[in-house]
Copies of this chain bind each other. A is one copy, B any other.
Amino acid sequence: MKKEEKQLLLNNLAISIKKRRLQLNISQEKLAEKCGFDRTYISMLERAKRNPSFINLVKISKGLEIEINDLLSLEN
């Protein structure tokens, strides 16, 4: 698996997270608060700068009030 491929996956995830957050009409800070994360971490995720763990993916999806599989299959 190539580096660009990984980055592409992170990009898609980033877009999905951002898209869903905007649907909820909340700020990164607010989402961070809901998830129990630092605001800068959310920022990094939405810029595809981080590769979150499975557990954190679950936390994010909870904060976004969406099932994790729905989050991952969100059309971009």
Integer count of this chain's copies in the complex: 2
When chains A and B are docked, how far (Å) is the Cα of A69 from the Cα of B69? 4
Q: Is A59 an interface residue (CB 8 A)?
A: yes
Q: Please give the number of chain A residues whose Cβ is less than 8 angstroms from any Cβ of chain B in the complex.
A: 20
Interface of A is mostly: helix
A44 vs B53: C-alpha distance in the bound complex, in angstroms? 15
Bound-complex Cα distance A46 to B27 (A): 37
- Measured between beta carbons, the chain B residues less than 8 angstroms from A26 are none
Give the interface of A toward B (CB within 8 A).
1, 6, 9-10, 13, 36, 51-55, 57-59, 67-70, 72-73
A-B contact pairs, 18 of them (CB 8 A): A1-B36, A1-B59, A9-B54, A9-B55, A9-B58, A10-B54, A10-B55, A13-B54, A51-B54, A52-B53, A52-B54, A53-B53, A53-B54, A54-B57, A68-B69, A68-B72, A69-B69, A69-B72
